[in-house]
Amino acid sequence: MTGELDRAEAEGLLGEDRSELSIGMEGAWFVVTEQSVHLFDLNDGISVRLPGKDAPATLNDTPRHIREIEVCRVGELGRWTMLPYAWQEDVEFTWHVSTPIVRIVEFLYRAELVQNGGADPAGTAPN
């Protein structure tokens, strides 16, 4: 696991587990794969990859706008598309294919923000 997921778990900011994510759902979710963790904020339509210690760096390690979630299901390779960066003017979208997904768990940072009047003292809310 990454430090962000470990910290969220230690602070009681993890909610229910799911077997699958899709467009149309709400909330924030950690998608744990064999090599990395992906944070999906489905309310804002953003994903970011948090690489594990043996995972190489990629363009997906910064927040990206989600275009479509093709497959995001425990036990399968994750596949989703993201909108391009502004400098990728000739690109319609980019693909991400993850290693097998081992867990999908809700991230309760939004509830924490509301309880603290909009403040995020733990620094857990994505940018």
Structure confidence by residue, pLDDT tens digits, 81-117: 999 888 888 999 989 999 999 999 999 875 444 444 4
pLDDT of residue 126: 42
Task: Check if the beta carbon of residue 37 is closer than 8 Å to that of residue 30.
Answer: yes
Query: Which has the closest alpha carbon to 37: 71, 67, 69, 6?
Result: 6
The model's pTM is 0.81
